[in-house]
Structure 1
Amino acid sequence: MTRILSVTAALLLAACSDSDSPNSAPTASADTAEPRSGALLYRQYCVNCHGSGAAGAPQVGKDHRLYWSHEVEEEGFDTLVQEAIHGINAMPPRGNCYDCTDEEVRQAVLYMLQLSAAK
């Protein structure tokens, strides 16, 4: 019972910390949390540039299917993931999601390709 109260108290204190401000991004610990979805990461990070084409980023969406299909065909999915992880041109590594795991970045790339109906 004491252990349950200790864990509950720790969770309540963590919920009150400054790290939960509206401007902070959720973090995932490899030991305790499941990976964040590609959709969530796209909405939090990728859409900032890939939604508008800012800084020359290729836009995402069905209107851009041919671009993304060509990229997958020419570069390969794994290369696109590596570019997202390490950054390319004006894109920063991990799209500025510095606490994203490689698998989370992979899921975000996959989600973007799905949004674009890439073949």
Structure 2
Amino acid sequence: MTRILFAAAALILTACSDSESTNSAPTATADQAERRSGVLLYRQYCVNCHGSGAAGAPQVGKHNRLYWSHEVEEEGFETLVQEAIHGINAMPPRGNCYDCSDQEIRNAVIYMLQLSAAK
């Protein structure tokens, strides 16, 4: 009788843990994607070149406000986003963040423009 109760308890616990792990995996992935803000992506990917001007990348910062303001005015915001998505010159597509969504790339561009005080 004790063996039967022990086996039944083990089956119930196994069934509960299987359903919990199945349900929690998509939630963790969705939560993780929501947390990848423009700030996070800039710090992880963009700053490598746009922080130092490596490979000819235009630097981000208030000291380059006129450059970024001119880019927005002349090229347009959507063009900047598309260049970030598809790459331009030495910049690889998506700044090497191949699992970034278009919206996440857009958020990174917005953050870079904010850092540069672009108008």
Same-fold status (TM-score > 0.5) = yes
Higher Rg of the two aligned structures: 2
- Give me the TM-score of the superposition, normalised by structure 2: 0.77
Letter in structure 2 aligned against 1:105 = I
Q: Distance in 1 between matches of 2:111 and 2:36?
A: 12
Q: Distance in 1 between matches of 2:32 and 2:116?
A: 32
- Compare the two structures and name the one with the higher helix fraction: 2
Greater than 3 Å deviation, 4+ residue runs: 1-4, 8-11, 28-33
**What do residues 52-75 of structure 1 show as CA deviations (whole Å, max 9, x unaligned)?**
000000000000000000000000
What displacement does 1:36 show?
1.4
Where 1:34 maps in the other structure, the secondary structure is helix
CA shift in 2, pair 1:89/1:66, >3 Å: same
Aligned twin of 1:71: 71
- Of residues 12, 17, 24, the one that matches 1:5 is 17
Q: Distance in 2 between matches of 1:37 and 1:4?
A: 34
Aligned twin of 2:34: 34
Q: Is the 8 A contact 1:86 1:93 kept in 2?
A: yes
**What do residues 26-72 of structure 1 show as CA deviations (whole Å, max 9, x unaligned)?**
xx956984261000000000000000000000000000000000000
- Give me the TM-score of the superposition, normalised by structure 1: 0.77
Aligned twin of 2:61: 61
Unpaired segments of 5 or more residues in structure 1?
Answer: 15-27
In angstroms, what is the RMSD of aligned CA positions? 2.8
**What do residues 61-119 of structure 1 show as CA deviations (whole Å, max 9, x unaligned)?**
00000000000000000000000000000000000000000000000000000000000
Aligned-residue sequence identity (percent) comes to 78
Aligned twin of 2:47: 47
Q: Distance in 2 between matches of 1:4 and 1:77?
A: 49
Q: Distance in 1 between matches of 2:105 and 2:22?
A: 33
Q: Distance in 1 between matches of 2:69 and 2:16?
A: 51
